Structure 1
Amino acid sequence: MSEVRFSKPLIYMLIGSAFILALSLGVRHGFGLYLVPMSDAFGWNHQVFSLAIALQNLLWGAVQPFTGALADKYGSKKVVATGGALYTIGLVMMAFSSTGLLINLSLGLIIGLALSATSFSVLLSAVGRAAPPEKRSMAMGIASAAGSFGQFIMLPTTLLLLKEFGWSSALLISAILIALIVPLALMLNAKIYQAPNSVSKPTTDQLSFKQVLILAKNHKPFIWLGLGFLVCGFQVVFIGIHLPGYLTDHGFSTTSGTIFLALVGLFNIIGTYTAGWLGDQYSKPKLLMGLYGLRGIAIIAFLLMPLSTWTIYGFAVVMGLLWLSTVPLTNGIVASMFGVKYLTMLSGIVFFVHQIGSFFGGWLGGLNHDLTGNYDFIWALSIALSIFGVLVHFFVNEERILDD
């Protein structure tokens, strides 16, 4: 069999998706750096800004299936361009948000909506539709790696902007960068890949949105897959938000937390690309079992070893390799199950479950710390969830129930 190569339209789409994800997720990765300067400027307690971030995550997940349905019906290009425009408006409004209501409207509502149109579910689904099945997981891994690079590069960039220009001007400069998403969306033109296979199962063309949703709801491996993704959301948001605070509690400077997050973003590039490549070679559910198991082992090792600069940065490297490696594999499984016509909507449903985990990972981490002064219970819960993540993927398979 001849080797399947990426078409030129797919390559253009990969480039466009890479830049869009790098911008969208990169700017978002730096939002936590605005908490202290904005709170100090307006005399807020930290709960004001944290609530806006929590609202953003929950809304992002809640509207993702609907944004996905729009992308499936009208095309990713229009949805992403609209999302880029909303993102720009949200950042400009955030730069002038002086009250809790305004920060919830800008950072929470508008940017939450924008992220649902400019992040993984829409972009990876667009790539997945255009890629041949043999290379689908790898193509998603390439796009995911680009988003990871954005997270790595934008963290020090945001710090520099805050230092040189202040938080309000930094947000306005970020808005200018995000506005580039609108023209970049024009690169999302690749058509659905057509394979010369005979059709023996119902095709997505024969089914309505409602029928596909009913089919997904009754497909137990799809439900288990979503529950596994909840684990991912809980762990990455808990560690991403609270690890710097955990280090501060143990006498380390804020610089240690910043370097930790930057290293996670850097090694996430390697992790997501490798996961995508492996997903084309091996069973994706088994790979996910391995990823969640390794996360649990890494957390246990980090907690048992003496806390030092080397163990902190070593943990960052390991977690970076495992951080969003779940994304191309999870979306790849959804494509394997249901085909690609409604991939954005169905991936959005799974992502909503991920964001429920994200909400509780961020919120419970802060609540536990307020009540006890430490994060011991949430660390233990994260380890238990790793075990759960391994177990649920025993019940996930890639059996195709729909053809494109």
Structure 2
Amino acid sequence: MSIFRFPLMVWLGIGTLIISLGIRQSFGIFMMPISDFFMTGREFFSLTIAMQNLLFGLFQPFVGMAADHYGARRVISLGAIAYALGLYLTSITTTSSVLYLSLGVLVGLGLSATSYVIVLGAISKVVPPQHTAKAFGLTTAAGSFGMFAVIPGAQSLLTHFEWQTAMQVFAMGCFVMLAFSVFMKNSHGGSDTTQQSQPEQTLKQALAQAFRHKGYWLIHAGFFVCGFHVMFIATHLPSYLGDKGLPANTAAMALAYVGIFNIFGSYFWGLMGDNFSKRHVMSVLYLVRTAVIAGFVTLPITETTAALFGGAIGFCWLGTVPLTSGLVRQIFGARYMSTLYGLVFFTHQVGSFLGAWMGGRIYDYYGSYDPIWWSTVVLAFAAALIHLPINDAPINDAPHKAPAKA
């Protein structure tokens, strides 16, 4: 299937992710102005972003269940409203503790209802199984395009206006997601003909089936590492480069390179997942991350190496999303994709919480990011090994039976 023949739901999902994830990935460049405004250390902002990511994941299974039951349209519309409210409250507060509610809880809820789990779950129900990873890769690439498009714009707003104005512009952008949701068609079924020919599986049966599958827990472990990586880098790379004496626009451009190279990387890894074993492709991706991060912390930090790192890590930044979600879809089918992938994404966000928070904690304690950089290298290599023993054979051709041992 050509990408130009994908259903409208795919393109509406792409538009939603461009805005939702573009805003989310820009929060790292707000660390210094917000910390200076409230006169707090970096750990305060790090903990706020960590809380946002933890709640982002904690809400995910519940909004996934809601999407599987009521459809993606309602969930995305409510999420866009929560997202806008959280950003606006952040812009008008003069009390730092309010950020835990606004930037932490409300934005975390908004993200959970407007990002990958809901959008990919909806797409899995309208795209044939053999084209799922490609569709997921294209959709994931859209989130990266948002990162490329939004971060330079956010940096420009911070240059010419106060950070509060930038947050209010972001809040207005959330209403575009609300407009997109109006045109989304709710879909509760799956495009999997095998699944359609079998008796309807209940959510309880689907969860029990997944929890008995060892490979499902290995998928959780691998995605934990991904979350740790991306939120540590997105949150702390600007400050790390600033500590090395590089100008602020270097960090913004490095993150923009992450976004633009991930546009190609996400689609590439998704395409590889449609043509080769997803678990083997995932192992290769994590080996590439291992080499890229190790090279970055070993070489001198300059504007050139920062740009090269942004491009290289961007190429394998969110390629994990089409592969991980594709594995869940492949093994368990489309019917409860949002729920099962939502649980996996919660584990991803536990990793995100620790990556964002521990980065600030370790820096404030040691005055250096070096220990956590090297921990990301070790975790990347471990994740490459974790995916090798996963049994990725589909099991929904017999939902009433216990799954084969992975």
**Under TM normalisation by the shorter chain, which class is it?**
over 0.9
The DSSP-based 3-state class of the residue aligned with 2:97 is helix
Residues 47-100 of structure 1, C-alpha deviation per residue, up to 9 Å, x if partnerless?
333222111011011110111011001101110111011111111211112112
Corresponding residue to 2:113 among 117, 140, 155? 117
Between 187-196 and 351-360, report the one with greater CA deviation: 187-196
The DSSP-based 3-state class of the residue aligned with 1:100 is coil
What is the TM-score normalised by the length of structure 2? 0.92
C-alpha displacement of 1:199: 7.2
Give the aligned residue type for 1:152.
Answer: F
| Residues 1:256 and 2:250 aligned together | yes
Distance 1:190 1:276, change over 3 A: farther
- Residue 229 of structure 1 is matched in structure 2 by 223
C-alpha displacement of 1:111: 0.8
- Residue 305 of structure 1 is matched in structure 2 by 299
- Residue 54 of structure 2 is matched in structure 1 by 58
C-alpha displacement of 1:157: 0.8
- Residue 97 of structure 2 is matched in structure 1 by 101
* Structure 1 segment 275-354 matched on structure 2, within 5 A: 275-354=269-348
| Residues 1:390 and 2:384 aligned together | yes
Distance 1:42 1:6, change over 3 A: closer
Give the aligned residue type for 2:366.
Answer: T
Between 344-353 and 247-256, report the one with greater CA deviation: 247-256
- Residue 151 of structure 1 is matched in structure 2 by 147
Residues 87-137 of structure 1, C-alpha deviation per residue, up to 9 Å, x if partnerless?
111112111121123211111111101110001111111112211011111
Give the aligned residue type for 1:398.
Answer: D
Distance 1:72 1:7, change over 3 A: farther
| Residues 1:375 and 2:354 aligned together | no
Residues 210-235 of structure 1, C-alpha deviation per residue, up to 9 Å, x if partnerless?
22212111110000011001111111
Q: How high is the sequence identity, in percent, across the aligned residues? A: 38
CA contact (8 A) 2:134 2:267 kept: yes
- Residue 43 of structure 1 is matched in structure 2 by 39
Between 365-374 and 144-153, report the one with greater CA deviation: 365-374
- Residue 402 of structure 2 is matched in structure 1 by none
Aligned residues: 397
Gaps of 5+ in 1: none
Give the aligned residue type for 2:98.
Answer: L
Give the aligned residue type for 1:278.
Answer: M
Distance 1:6 1:41, change over 3 A: closer
C-alpha displacement of 1:6: 6.6
C-alpha displacement of 1:247: 2.2
Residues 296-341 of structure 1, C-alpha deviation per residue, up to 9 Å, x if partnerless?
0112222333333222211111100000000011000000111111
User: What is the Cα-based RMSD across aligned positions, in Å?
Assistant: 2.0
Gaps of 5+ in 2: 400-406
The DSSP-based 3-state class of the residue aligned with 2:148 is helix
Distance 1:289 1:136, change over 3 A: same
The DSSP-based 3-state class of the residue aligned with 1:122 is helix
CA contact (8 A) 1:337 1:400 kept: yes
C-alpha displacement of 1:380: 2.0
What is the TM-score normalised by the length of structure 1? 0.93
CA distance in 2, matches of 1:378, 1:283: 31
C-alpha displacement of 1:196: 4.5
CA distance in 2, matches of 1:46, 1:377: 17
C-alpha displacement of 1:375: 2.1
CA contact (8 A) 2:43 2:364 kept: no
The DSSP-based 3-state class of the residue aligned with 2:393 is coil
Residues 345-390 of structure 1, C-alpha deviation per residue, up to 9 Å, x if partnerless?
1101111111111111122222222222222221221111112101
Corresponding residue to 2:86 among 84, 90, 97? 90
- Residue 81 of structure 1 is matched in structure 2 by 77
Distance 1:380 1:198, change over 3 A: closer
Distance 1:50 1:368, change over 3 A: closer
Which portions of structure 1, spanning 4 or more consecutive aligned residues, are displaced by more than 6 angstroms?
Answer: none
CA distance in 1, matches of 2:300, 2:91: 41
Give the aligned residue type for 1:245.
Answer: S
Give the aligned residue type for 2:81.
Answer: A
